[in-house]
Every structure is written in structure tokens, then in C-alpha cells.
Structure 1
Amino acid sequence: MNRSFTGRQRLPVRVLLCVGIGLAGCESQVAALEFDARFLQGESGPATDVSRFQHADVVPEDDQLLDVVINENWSGRWSVPLRRQGDDLQASPCYTGALLEDLAVDRAQLAASVREQLQPPDSCLPLSALGLEASERLDFAGLRLTLQIAQQALLHTPRDYLPPEQWDSGTSAAFIDYRLNLFSQQSRIDDQRWNQSFLGLRSGVNTGAWYWRHEGNVQFGEGIERHYQPVATYVQRDVPAWQAQLTLGQAYSRGEVFDSIAYLGLGLGSDERMLPASQRGFAPTVSGVAYSTALLTIRQRGVVIHESTVQPGPFEISDLYANGFSDDLQVTLREADGNQRTFTVPYQVAPLALRPGASRFDFSLGRWRDGLGGTGPEHVQGSWQQGVSNQLSVHAGLLGADSYQSVALGTTLNSRLGAVALTMLQSHTDLALHGQSGGQALRLSWRQVMAASMTDLSVNLTRSSLGYYGFNDVARAQGNSGSNLHDQARARLRASLAVSQGLGGQGGRLRLQAASTQHWRQARSDLSYSLGYFNHYGSLGYGLTASREQYSSAGRGNHFGLTLSLPLGETRRSSLSSSLNSSGQGQRTSTTRFSTTAGEYGEWGYGLGLATRQDEQRNTAGLDANLLYSGPVAEISGALTQHSDYRQASLGVRGALVGHAGGLTAAQSLGESFAIVHAPGAAHARLKQAPQVRLDARGYAVLPQLTPYSLNTVELDPKGTSQDVELQISSQQVVPRAGAAPLLYYPTRSGRSAVIDARLADGGALPFAAQVLDESGDELGMVGQGSRLHVRGINEQGRLQVRWGDSAQQQCFLAYRQSDLKPAGAAPMRLLATCEHAAEDRPASLL
């Protein structure tokens, strides 16, 4: 078992000692190391007592919260007992039965005697006593335990599994996220003005595992009634046992089997984000039989996406990451005798496709609502999706309300001919004012990706009978007594086709899209189609498009376009783009735009544009400019347009205010989950994950975006902080729940710093590596080369003790007094001092 420990403060000095003495290895081992102090003694200076370097820094016995990494994957932050074993001076990890279970160690692999010893809840054993093929390394300063454990000794869990016990519910907090936009336009023809403003708000309060949310907005301007429009108010929490979210209040159903429904009530639905990343979405399970210990390699489009060693017998790989390539997998099995077997696993992704054994559900109960505060009938709705095999997934649903019932049944097929999803729906309506009706609807989607020919084909088709109504149609008719359900414009047939064809090499890509909609009780159809070609010549990207639109209510129109885009500069932070468009009816427009970003962290962005328009009557032109600043507490944007016919101006501000136990902190616009960062005294430190964000004067900042149920790393960059402040740790990892606001505390060490050139009373140098202590006996630093002391944490004045042994002649004292004019955070003060053996010390003087 290989164990190594990293100390807190003396590691750099030990490394220097190792280099100076010429030791071959400098790992911090428990075994004692012997140093010859004469190598550290000056010509006439006293010898140094280096006995304290003969042992690594002491790791105390305690239950310590450590980040545990197993086989290069973060397992979580667990409480690990640290105990001394035998005559060891150091405490080392000691494993209880509960801890082994948390670490997904298969306890069945342990010897019976070991399992018996671990039966008492308070008993623990060192790693060497478990009988596992494993090694450990404890970094006590970084609070990190790294383990290497043979795969067969671990339970079969996805490689990126994060147990719910590690999900962080966050701290109690409240926030308001705001988005303000002001817009003004003035006509240069008749001098009329038009102003409009919009303020959107999203607020919330987090209490434990419950997250309360409200969304709303207000719009005001000429001809607009000013009033606050609530959008949604609800409370939610996750249900880890079901990998689902529970929502109470105003919410929306998922809209996968049935159309999405806005309702006021209760909702419970699967949240796929709670699964490990390797279990989300659809990817086939690769299974087979190995005749010997074999190397398994899985490729997609010629790229290796998985490789592992499998044991003789049946094997199964079920943790491939989902991707959007939709191309078959090539599986190669290389046996121990060198023979190779290759087979193909179809991989075409269709809507509602799930991995084998995976399932999803959605349930809602409540009253239908619209987006304007109106409500309709009560309903209950439930749907279930199930992955059966690599080729087959099924789904079904029921929806019931007063005078309305609907049932859905469908399947998804994954085959060499493509991925097909088919859903059949049946509805029955019985309304007093509209009579009874029943009908069916059919939804079909198909996609085929052919990598060899670089072809991507997809078709979507929805067909409804005359008597079929969706629940939203019925609810709107019930809410509006003056409307006739049968007069609503309902689609009889919706069809769409998309083709993307690569032309190989430098040939670019050709895209074709077409869509058609036919309505009941309307003779004409809506039709649109477009053709585009896209390629690049060196750094210049270009595209040609042609489209035609034909609507039953607005006639037809043709459009042609050319787009050009050219990145500029070595860093490509700037770009020049241009577009030419023609309507086919004598109307032509063109735009040319220069855009760039500036600032060390890209916090500034601006652009300049020129636009022209020509038609049969007149030609017009205009200039516009925009500016964007992404600051630590808000994003501010502005735009000005000067056109032949009008002038425009707009101003936008986005940001948030977060209230927490430490006070109120301004922040950038927030995502679903965010982090509150606190490092006392570390004002102006940056967040590496959002470099525009700095800690405020109190040491607080908000990282505006975290990915729920995933491992997030939050790092601090100390650049710009006071030299009197030292970060004890600069990086943490957290797995937040959806909606959570974790509080991440970064301990700091603060105090005035100084560089003291000190000598003994006889002019001799102080011993290299001697300890420097304050009046309380706390170590502030060591004596470096040239008898120079680097110390941190001193007061304006005081006395320091320099000690290089236990006898009175192996220690001395020096007094210091810093300048009252030295500002906090400035460069360390340079002082001269004499270290006296007697108690009468002379104050250090400024250089």
C-alpha cells in the first residue's frame, strides 16, 4: 500500500532541505529521515536542530470530511475516520462498513473474518487489512483522499455515478433576477415617437430542500395598459428515490406524450438530470460474449468512444454517453490469442427513445390555465415511457377531465433503416354547447443518418381526424363561452422534411427543408420550403439560400440570400459579416457588420453596422452601433440606430440581487442553480468559471450558473487580492440540486506581512530554516536564505521569537514596529532587526 501525506506549511522548506542534502526521494513518509545539520550551518553560525523534519507533519486522529477520488473519478465528500495504527506516529484512513458502502465497495469481496470485524458500527480497519487490491494517498492539506481499487472489488455502478447523499440542497437564500429593456423610436418622416419598456422578474426563496419561485413581468408604453402580469408561482423539490421533481402551484406538463398543459395544481415528473451523465438520453447497450480476457473497442464514425478490458464470459456495456450523431457503432473484440471479431450495433435516435431498462413518467393534477390568468377545467394526466431493448421503447398515457378523455399509445424503433417513433391518440369530447365528438391522431417521425454518404434525413408527420381535439382546444372553448369548438382553426395534416447532404472534402454541405400544413374547413394549404448551400474558403465562410413561402392568409413570397463571415485577428475576437437579401419582388436589403470583444476576460463587446434597402420607390440606408458590458454584478447593453426613415435607441440591464446569511450581494443574471462564494478578506479575487465576477469588499460573490446534479468545480483566482490575505484553499467541488444555492466557504489567512533582515547580536546569520513564532507561540514563518525572515500575520508592533533548538542559546527575540503609514494590502514592509538572546530587544527599523 502506497501512502503519502502532504503537510500544511512546511512542505516547501522540506523540499529545499531534500535538495540541499541530496536525498533521492522527498515523499512525506511516516518513517523517520535523518538530516546532517552541518550542511545547513554557516561558516560561523549556530547549528540548526532539524529533528522536527525527521517526521512528516502530524495528521491528527479525527473524523475528517474529505474529497474522495476513486480510480480518477470523484466519489463524493465523505466523513473518513483517521486513526493511528500500531506504532505509527501518523493517523491514516480507517474504513468502516458504512464508509465502504458509501464508496461502492462490494463487501461480498471481503473475507468473512473482515466482514465480521466490521459488524460493530464504530469499528474500522486500515486499507491494508481489508485484503483488497488497492492503494491510497492522503493529501491532508488539500483534504483529499485518492484511492485506486481493482474494478472487481467495486459494485457495478455507472462510472460517473454521484450518490444522492452528495447532492447539495444549498443554503437558505432569497433572490430577485431582473431583466429591464427600454426602447424608443422616432420617425424622421412625421416626427412621431414610440416608446416601450419591459421589466421581467424571476424571484425565489430557498428553504432547505424546498425552492419557492415566482415569475412575472410588466410592460408599459404608448397604447399599452400598464399592469403587472404574473406568469407562474410554484414551489418545487426533488424526490431522489424516484429521480423526479415534485411541483406545487402553477407549472407545465412535460409535453412528450400529450401536448404540454399549463395548470394550477400538483406535478410529479422524471428529471433525467438526476441520472449519471452516461445514463441520460438514448445510447444502445453493447453486449456479447468474450472467449478470453479481451480488449473491447467501440467506435462511432471511426472515432473510439469506449475501450475497456472484459473478462471471459458474457459482458455488457450500458454506460455509453448519448450523442446526436445517430450513427451505428462498430464493436471490435480482440481476444487473448490475437483473433478479432467485429460486429455492428444500430444507433439511430428517435423521440421518446430510452435505454434498455430505463423509464420516465409524468403526472399532473390540477386546473387548466392560460397565459393571461384565465383558468379552465380540472384534469388529471399521466404518461409512462419504457426502454425495452436497444431496438424497442414504448410509451403510453391517459388524460381525463370533465367531458374530455384521451388515451395515447406508441412505440419507438431503432433499426438499420432508421429510427421511427409512432404515437396514436384517441380522444372523446362531450360538451353541452358543442355536442359529442371522437377522433384519432397519428404522430410519426423518422430519421436516418448515413455516415458513408454524409446524409441526414428526417421526416415528421401529424395527421388528425375531424373529430379529434386536444385538451388545450377543449379547455379554451370552455373558457370562452362565445367560441365554437368546431370553428377553431385545427390542423388536419402537418408534414415536414429535412435533408442535410455533405458533398465531401471541401465540397461543403447542402440543406433542404420543406413543411406543409393543411387545416380542416380550409381549401388552401400553407407551404414553405428552402434550399441552402454552405461552405468556406479558407477563413471565409459563406452561404447561399433560396426559399418560398405560401400561406392561405398572406399569399406567397420568394426570398434569396447570400451571407459572408470572416474572423479577424490572431485571436479571432473580431469578425466581419455581410448579407445580401432579395424578396424576388424588386426589394433588396444588405447589411455589413463589424463585431469584436475587448477586455482581458472578454467583458466588453461592441459592433458597428451599415444597412441599406432598395425597392421600386426609394433607396434608404442606416448606421447602427451596439455596446455590451458584462460586469461582475450586471450585464448592460445599449444600441443606437440612425436610419433614413427613423432613429432608434435601446438600453438593457440584466442582473440579480441575492440575499443570504452574509447580507445582500449583487450578481449577474442567475441560472437555475447558482453558488454563493465567501472568502473573508479576499476582495477582488475572481471566479475562474466566470472571470468577469469579482469578490466584493466583504469577500462575497455569486457564481451565476451551476449544472444541477453534476460535478461543478468552483475555483478562485487570487490575482488582485491584498498581499496580506492568503487563500487556504482555492478550489472546491459541489453537486447542487436543481434550484439550490450552495454556500462555498474558502478559508483565508489574513495579517500584515513583512520581510525582516535579521542578524544575531554578534552580526552572525540566523540558522536557515529556524522557526519564527509570535507572542502566542503560533508559527508565522521560517528563516530563509541570507538570514531573511518572511512572515505573515504580524501586528503593527510586537515581538517575535526565532528558535532553532530547545536550549536558551538556540533561540532569540526581536522586536518590530511597522510604519503607521503602511496601507493594508501594499507590498510587504522591509525591516532591519537584531535578534537578542536577552529579553531587552531593540525595535526593528525601517530600511
Structure 2
Amino acid sequence: MRHPTPKHLRLRPCCAVALSLCAATCADASAPAGDVQVGVVQFNDQFFQRPGAPKVDVSRFEKGNPSLPGTYRVDLYVNQTWTGRVQVTLRQIGADPANVAPCFDRELLEQVGVDLGKLSAQATASLTAQQADANACLIFADLVDGGHAHFDNGEQRLDVELPQAAMLRQVRGYVDPRYWDDGVPAAMLQYNANVYRFDSGNLASTRGYIGLLGGANVGAWRLRHNGNLTTDTVGGTHYQSVQTSLERAIVPLKSRLTIGDAFTDGALFDSVGFRGVRLATDDQMYPESQRGYAPVVRGIANSNAQVQIRQNGNIIYTGNVPAGPFEISDLYPTGYGGDLEVIVTEADGSVHVSRVPYASAVNAVRAGITRFGVTAGEYRDPTVPDKPLLVQGTVQHGFSNLVTGYAGVTLARGYLAAVTGMALNTRFGAFGFDITQADTRLANGQSRNGQSVRIAYSKLIDPTGTNVSVAAYRYSSSGYLGLQDAMQLRSLQERGQGDSLMSGIPRGLLQITINQNLPAGFGSFYLTGSSQDYWDRGRRDTQFQAGYTNNLRRINYSISLSRQLDLTLGRWDNRVMLTVGIPLGFGSHAPYLSSSVQRDSRDTTDAQASLTGALGVDNAATYGVNVGYDAAGGTSAATNVGGNATYVAPVATLTGSASKGTGYTQYGAGMSGGVVAYGGGVAFAPSMGDTVAIVEAKGASGARITNSSGLRVDPWGHAIVSNLQPFENNEIDIDPKGLPMSVELKSSTERVAPTQGAIVRLTFETEGGGRSVLMRASFADGRPLPFGAQVSDASGASVGTVAQAGRIVLRGLRTDSGELRVKWGDAADQQCRLPYALPPAAGGKTNWTAVDAACSTN
């Protein structure tokens, strides 16, 4: 039985092409159209022959490299997109041993993404009959009209071409939870250690700090502990336990369970710390195209049409739809503003355009999506000695493109608060409105009751390109207290330390963030700030940052204004700064010169100039030097000079700094990184995130991991790839450049979809490890060996093929002398013995070695 083959694998019957270095090939042109002809090729051996040279038997190549029947664990690609790793069974079809095909059952079809409801009656009957006959092998092309499946033995991958009509509809970026990888049992530790020394006249101090994040993974469970050790010459040495928690993903609920110390999410109420249990929606478990807010686009196509969606002139989606109603619900979030322009191009060329309002409101979620959070435990705040019980629940639901509703309740000792609100997406912008009612019973027996109302707005104003990212106003009545303020006030009263908050009771808070792109060549402007007044204080706190940035050819410059609280002096400080920067040269190693002048409300002028750059192939080393000048009110001046350097080593990141100024000196050094212990050993990393992959590539020391700058396989064959995206497909690549000459990678790419906090193990298979040799082989009379002859070692394993002029490329020779077998036919006079002897490796290195060898036929 013959089976259809993917189009990109079919050979065209063009047999008249002559190639200088390899044989012309042709498919069996007499075969019926659509039949498998992969590997069924004929070689014109006339292109191999030299006058007087032995004739080479090339018939063994006519079947290509057929796979053997068996069960394989392979990468599954559907329409050229990796979707996970699956187990597939290959069986021989018919009498031809070379006709081996992958077998499909109901489970594998579901993994491919076939809509089983769209299969033909005959295909459905075959699947039903297969359940009673475990040896039945169903071919993909026989089950799915227009579908093809091809197994690549060399790459260990199964390629499936699935027509859209038979495809189960999934949103973009979807990864089936069955492919989520919880990783291997492992222990991990991230660390950040530094020491800082300063000497300023009569005051000198040495301070040390070690920040630690350690834990262990077992299955889906993640144990984490965060703490730090501090020491200084005055206060001594102290260890602080910041938080300890046990977490895991709850897949059916798309949520995360946390037991121990953590924080509430702050979506509806202010975020607070707790020790207890929390179950809450984990947005990362949704495909990227389902996170955040984006509207559902609906319409009607009169024929097979193309739908294109634009936002602010940018194409953000293009797809084909059949005649009839269509719905597009997997748009990626694209910031805060810009209505969507929907362009439907019909089969006859007619075009229809419509608009959908799009502005992301505070707390808005997609239509049909529900987010929730439930927390129970002890309230945790370093400023509050007691630990009152805390219960909180929140829910958000997208009722439509236009309306999201949300509500929540918080209950603690002497405190009850409830919130309800909605987010609206309109053509005038996105609005959010909510009201919170809070009742507080204080320790002195008094009660406070009040409300807090919040209004939020966001909009991209198309004519001017002004992006009002956030504009919010919150008004709180005099009796309203948030949870944190209520707990602090209760604690102060219980300890007899007063009946009022030092920070004051908030009244009105205005927040705004604006980004404005100016016409081409005129740069951009930004403004962000807030203004807060209080019921029990006459002073208004206003802070802001505003700036303008642009460039003149290669010169970058910016002007910024800011108002912020100076904690050292306890006063508000206004500052203006001008910054100018220019690269001194071209390329990644060109130094960058930056200069700035700053003046504050105390009439202090601060001028700084710095030079920064990077060194090394991977920019692993960075450096910076700076000089500065300070003039306080024109009465005194001070100068300073300093430098810093960072080196990303294979196992850690090292930093150092030093500076000297008028009346002081400073020195500092640091080291950071991570370590993982697992069943395969111990691996180190210069930096490590929450979700990581351990790369195992035996013998590939020095090979570069392209996912991170400067990351290479260590001498023990390990590397840690940090900051993987959980619940998404992550591609890990090894660049063969930098590998020892004697080592080959069987595959340079692996893919994985880890769960949050997972430590996954990826093994890259390698071959070699011995010496690499270019052998110039000939017969005793000097004639070169036949082109295309097969070369095998003493065990009979194939190690290479004779190339032009008798050259043989050999890798992984583990002995300096031995004997190879060369064969160009089955007859006794079509074989010879090829003894070799290699010179000693210089300095123990295994670089390429070129030798001559003579083949003997006796």
C-alpha cells in the first residue's frame, strides 16, 4: 500500500540534471500521483566513475534512510508548528520493508488537533474498529481528507499537514496542558552577595548582604524560601526570613494554590501580605492571546474571505474565514488604546470595513473570561506586631466586549470592606468605576464607616497620537480606612501609641500617565504623576516626572523634570536634568559616552560624565567609568571619580566598584548566580530565574546557548537557561560554533512548555569525543578510493563515506591507530582494509589531523 506524501517531500521527475559532485536523482515518474516516493530514487552512477576506477554499487542509497518499525518518542509538528512531544508507533505496511508508516489512533488524532466530529463516516468506523484490534495501523491520509504525515528518522520528529477544515479550533499560542512539563525533582538556590565599604571622615562602615531564594521541586509542588543575611560593623549580623511558601498549579481551574507566605494580587483591593492559603486565577495558564483585555471581533462574510485587523495603522491580525458568521477571540493585548479597523476582503475582491472600540480599562477582562481569588490566613505587615485573621475573595467576569463586572470582600478582625464596580469599553475611551464600603471597629471602641469611589479612564486620541494610559481619581470619605491603615491604627491604639496615622487619612488622589509621540523628527514627551490630599493634614503631596527625548543623528538627548520626596531631609525636592549621549564608534563594542547636568531646589548643581562599554565575543564583560562635579548653592564644590565592572562568568556573575570624592572613598564587590542539584548532578548559572531548563550536552563544553548572552555549556556538559516562559513553548538552541572539533550534535534545538517554577531537563545527544581526522586514502598504487564507497570501523558500524579524491572525514576516533574497512560492492575485490596511524595529539588537544593511508585488498 502506498500513502500520500507531504508536498515538500515529493521529488519532481527531472532526471536530466547533471551534478558535478553528486549523482543526479529522479523519482519514479510512472508511479501514480500522490503515492509515496520519499527515498525511492535512482542514481546515475556514471557521475561517480573515474577512468579505470572500480565501479561503485550505489543501490543501497535508493531507499534513502528508511525508519525501522517500533515506538518512538518524537517532536510533533502540525503545519510546521511545534505542539509538543508524543509517542508514535511505526509499522511496516505491506511486503516492502522500506514501506514503514506512523500509525494513528483516536488519542494521537486529538493530540494533533483533529476535530473528530468532522471525520468521514468511514474514518469514524475505522477508529471504532481499531479499539477492538490493537494491531490495526490507521494511516493519517486515510483518516483525514487532504492530510499527510511524515516521520523524520534523523530529526526524530513527526510532521503532520492538517487541513484547516479538519482542524479543531484553538486560540493562538495555545499549548495543550498534556504537554506542560512539571520538570524533574530538584533543589535550587539563587543568591546575590555583595560587600560595601565607605570611609567618610570620622565615619566608616563595612556592610555585607546575602540575598537567598532557595527551594525544592517535587512533581507539581514548589517549595520556596526567601531570606537575607545582613552584617555591618555597627549593627552586627542578622538573618531575616522574608517569606516561605508551598505552591502548585491547579490545571482544571487555571489557578495557583499557595500555602504559606504571599501577597494578594491588588486588583480590587490594595495588595497586602498574608500567611495562610490562597487559590487564585493564574493568567499565565491562559494562552498569551487570551491574557489581558482585547475585544472579540464578530462579523459576517459573504464568501470565503480574508479578515485583516489594523490598529493605529499596524496589522495585528490576518486570517481566512469561510462564508457566514465569524468570530475572532484571540487578539493579543496591544497596550491601552486604538480602535480596531476590521477589513473583510471577499472572494470577488469587494472590501467591507468596520470599526470596533478598543481601550483597555482598569480591571477589564475578555468576554467570557472569569478571574477569581480566595485568600484565608493571617495578615502580615512588619509594622503591625499582631497577626489578625484575614479572609478575602474577589471575582471579575467579562460579560461582553463592552462590560466587565467585578466585586470583592475583605474581612479581618474589626474590619469589613466590600467593593463592586465595572469597566466599560466605549468609542470614547475605556472607563472604570467602582465603590468600596469599609467598616472599621477600632481598639478604643470607636467605629469608622466610609466609602471610597474610584473613576479611571484610558484612551489613545487618534488625531494627536496622545496616549492617556491611566487617568484615575479616587475620593475617600473621612470615615474610610483601607485594610493596611485600619490594621496600623488598631495596632497603635492597642499599644497606647496614639489615635492617628502619621501618614494621614487620604481624601482625594489624582493619578495620570500620558505619552505623546510628536511628528517624525520631533521626538516624544511623557508625563506621569500623582497628587494626594488628606482629611487630617493641610499639606498636599504632589509628585511627578515629565520628560522630552529626541535624537540628532547619532546624538541622543533628553530633558526631564521631577518632583520627589527626599527621605534624608524629609522635604520635597524639584529637579531638572539635561542628558546627552553618543556612541564613540560603531559595532557592539563601541563605548558610549553620556553626560548629564542636574539642578535641584536647593540650588545644587550636579554634573556627571560616564563612559560605558562591553568586551568579549558574548559581551560578557562590561565596564563603566565616571567623573562628577557638585556645587551646592555656589558656596562649595566637590568632585568625584569612580568605576565599575561586571563579568558574566560561566558559573557566576562578578561585579566590582570603587570611587573617590571630596572627603570620602568607597569600594564594593559582589557575586550572584544560581545552582541546581538534580538527578543528573549539579549545575551552576551566572543568573537564574523562577522557571529554568537544565541543558545536558555531554562533551559539548564551550558551545554557546543562544537564549542568553554569554551563556555556554560548562566543562561538565551542563548549562542553565533562565527565565523560561511558563505554560508556553520555549525553544532552546545550541550554536555548534565553539564545540570541540571531535563532537557533533545530533540535534541543536529542543522545545519545552514548563509549568511555573519548573526545573526541566533537556538532553542534547552528542556523538564523538575522540579525534577528528581528514584521511587522504588511496590504493597501494596511488589511485584514489572510489567516490561514494562506504567506510566502517572494526565493529562494522558505518563511520563515513569516501569523498572526492579519496578524502574521508572521520570524527570521534578514540585510538591513535587501527584499521577501517572500505566497501564499494559485495564482491571480495570490491573491499579493502585501511590501516591508519595518527601522530600524537599536540598538548592533548583533539583538533583536526590530516594523514595519508593506503588501502590493501589482500
Same fold (TM over 0.5): yes
Q: 2:848 aligns with which of 828, 838, 841?
A: 828
5+ residue gaps, structure 1:
7-14, 839-847
Instruction: State the Cα deviation string for residues 60-98 of structure 1 (Å, max 9, x = none).
Output: 112222222222322211112222223442312221111
CA distance in 1: counterparts of 2:718 and 2:525, whole angstroms: 51
Deviations along 1:787-824, one digit per CA (max 9) or x if unpaired, are: 23222333423322111222222212233333455565
Q: Aligned pair in 2 of structure 1 residues 517, 26: CA closer, same or farther (>3 Å)?
A: farther
**Is the contact made by 2:660 and 2:666 (CA closer than 8 Å) also made in structure 1?**
yes
TM-score w.r.t. the length of structure 2 is: 0.92
- 1:726 partnered with 2:726: no
Return the alpha-carbon distance in structure 2 between the equivalents of residues 193 and 790 of structure 1: 66
- Matched-pair contact (CA < 8 Å) for 1:799–1:813: yes
Moved more, 381-390 or 804-813: 804-813
Tell me which of 63, 69, 75 is aligned to 1:67: 75
The total of aligned residue pairs comes to: 828
Alignment of 1:301-316 (within 5 A): 301-316=312-327
Q: Indicate the larger mover: 268-277 or 86-95.
A: 86-95
Judge conservation of contact 2:430–2:458 (CA < 8 Å) in 1: yes
Match of 1:749 in 2: 767
2:672 aligned with 1:672: no
In the alignment, which residue of structure 2 is the partner of 1:562?
578
Alpha carbons 1:442, 1:462 under 8 Å: kept: yes
1:22 aligned partner, one-letter code? A
Q: Residue 300 of structure 1: which of 311, 319, 328 is its match?
A: 311
Relative to structure 1, is the Cα distance of residues 343 and 4 closer, same or farther in structure 2, using a 3 angstrom cutoff?
closer
Alignment of structure 1 residues 106-125 onto 2, 5 Å: 106-119=115-128, 120-121=130-131, 122=134, 123-125=136-138
Counterpart in the other structure of 1:350:
361
Give the conservation status (yes or no) of the 8 Å contact 2:274–2:378: yes
Query: How much does 1:144 deviate?
Result: 2.1
Q: Is the Cα–Cα contact under 8 Å of residues 303 and 346 in structure 2 kept in the other structure?
A: yes
RMSD: 2.5
When the two structures are superposed, what TM-score results if normalisation uses the length of structure 1? 0.93
Q: 2:857 matched to which residue of 1? A: 837
Q: CA, structure 1 residues 322+72, in 2 after alignment: closer, same or farther (shift >3 Å)?
A: farther
Q: Provide the rounded CA distance (Å) in 1 between the counterparts of 2:50 and 2:519.
A: 74
Q: Give the structure 1 partner of residue 809 of structure 2.
A: 790
User: Structure 2 vs 1, CA of residues 16 and 176 (structure 1 numbering), >3 Å: closer, same or farther?
Assistant: farther
Question: Could you tell me how far apart the structure 1 residues matched to 2:781 and 2:548 are?
Answer: 86
Kindly tell me: are residues 277 and 499 of structure 1, through their superposed partners in 2, closer, same or farther at Cα, counting changes over 3 Å? Answer: closer
Which of 228, 249, 260 is 2:260 aligned to?
A: 249
Pairing of 1:334-733 with structure 2 (within 5 A): 334-371=345-382, 374-457=385-468, 458-479=470-491, 481-482=494-495, 483-484=497-498, 486-487=500-501, 489-529=504-544, 531-547=546-562, 554=570, 557-571=573-587, 573-616=590-633, 617-733=635-751
Q: Does the residue aligned with 1:826 lie in a helix, a strand or coil? A: coil
**Residues 1:779 and 1:401: Cα distance change in structure 2 (over 3 Å):** same
Structural mapping, 1:55-134, within 5 Å: 55-88=63-96, 89-119=98-128, 120-121=130-131, 122=134, 123-134=136-147
Conserved? CA contact 1:560–1:584, under 8 Å:
no
8 Å CA contact 1:59, 1:140 repeated in 2: yes
TM-fit CA distance, 1:148: 2.5
Distance in 2, Cα, partners of 1:20 & 1:500: 61
Query: What secondary structure, in the 3-state scheme, does the structure 2 residue paired with 1:273 have?
Result: helix
**Could you tell me how far apart the structure 1 residues matched to 2:655 and 2:513 are?**
36
Indicate if the aligned counterparts of 2:20 and 2:47 stay in contact, CA closer than 8 A: no
Give the CA deviation at 1:241.
0.9
Is the contact between residue 611 and residue 621 of structure 1 (CA under 8 Å) also seen in structure 2?
yes
Report the secondary structure of 2:388's partner residue: strand
**Which of 21, 24, 29 is residue 22 of structure 1 equivalent to?**
24
SS in structure 2 of the partner of residue 448 of structure 1: strand
Partner of 1:12 in structure 2? none
Call closer, same or farther: CA 1:548–1:38 in 2, change over 3 Å.
closer
The 1-side partners of 2:606 and 2:27 are apart by 72
1:674–1:703 CA contact under 8 A, matched in 2: yes
* SS across alignment from 2:246: strand
Q: Deviations over 1:343-370 (max 9, x none)?
A: 1111101221111111111111111112
Match of 2:194 among 171, 181, 199: 181
Structure 2 Cα separation of the partners of residues 99 and 462 of structure 1: 54
Native 8 Å contact 1:590 1:612 kept in 2: yes
Shift of 1:710: 1.5
Structure 2 CA distance for aligned equivalents of residues 38 and 549 of structure 1:
84
| Higher alpha-carbon deviation: 412-421 or 558-567 | 558-567
The one-letter code sitting in structure 1 at the alignment partner of 2:517 is: G
Query: Is 1:806 matched up with 2:826?
Result: yes
How many Å separate the matches in 2 of 1:790 and 1:610? Answer: 57
1:556, distance to aligned residue in structure 2 (A): 5.2
Q: Which amino acid aligns with 2:857?
A: H
The equivalent residue for 1:844 is none
SS in 2 for 1:54: helix
Q: Alpha-carbon deviation of 1:825?
A: 4.4
**Aligned residue for 1:758?**
777
Match of 1:2 in 2: 5
Kindly report which structure 2 residues correspond to 1:222-241, keeping only aligned pairs within 5 A, or say none: 222-241=233-252
Contact 1:755–1:828 (CA<8 Å) still a contact in 2? yes
How far off is 1:513 after superposition?
Answer: 4.0
What is the identity, as a one-letter code, of the residue corresponding to 2:480? Y
**1:218/1:795 CA distance change after superposition, 3 Å:** closer
Q: What secondary structure, in the 3-state scheme, does the structure 2 residue paired with 1:118 have?
A: helix
1:5-29 per-position Cα deviation (integer Å, ceiling 9, x unaligned): 99xxxxxxxx998954333679994
Q: Secondary structure at the match of 2:484?
A: helix
Residues 1:114 and 1:182: Cα distance change in structure 2 (over 3 Å) = same
Cα separation, partners in 2 of 1:555 and 1:606, compared to 1, 3 Å = closer
Seen in structure 2, the aligned counterparts of structure 1 residues 715 and 501 have a Cα distance that, compared at 3 Å, is closer
Gaps of 5+ in 2: 10-16, 30-35
Shift in alpha-carbon separation, 1:615–1:753, aligned structure 2, 3 A: closer
- Residues 530 and 548, structure 1, Cα contact 8 Å, conserved in 2: yes
For residue 164 of structure 1, the aligned residue among 177, 202, 209 is 177
Kindly provide the amino acid, as one letter, of the partner of residue 172 in structure 1: P
Q: Summarize the Cα distance change of 1:789–1:524 in structure 2 as closer, same or farther, 3 Å threshold.
A: closer
Partner secondary structure for residue 21 of structure 1: coil
CA apart distance, 1:693: 1.9
Distance in 1 of aligned mates of 2:196 and 2:566: 31
Q: Does 1:155 align with 2:175?
A: no
2: CA distance between counterparts of 1:372 and 1:403? 18
Cα offset, 1:701, TM superposition: 1.5
Q: Deviations over 1:317-375 (max 9, x none)?
A: 11111111511111112223333221111110122111111111111111111248955
Q: Contact conserved, 2:771 with 2:847, CA < 8 A, in 1?
A: no
* Mapped partners of 1:594, 1:25: distance in 2: 63
Change (3 A) 1:223 1:333: same
Contact 1:18/1:26 (CA < 8 Å) preserved in 2? no
Q: Summarize the Cα distance change of 1:804–1:226 in structure 2 as closer, same or farther, 3 Å threshold.
A: same
Which residue of the partner structure matches residue 12 of structure 2? none
**What percent identity do the matched residue pairs reach?**
33
**Match of 1:216?**
227
For residues 681 and 21 of structure 1, do their structure 2 counterparts lie closer, same or farther at Cα, with a shift above 3 Å needed?
closer
SS of 1:128's equivalent? helix
Query: For residues 714 and 548 of structure 1, what CA distance do their matches in structure 2 show?
Result: 45
Give the match's secondary structure for 1:102.
helix
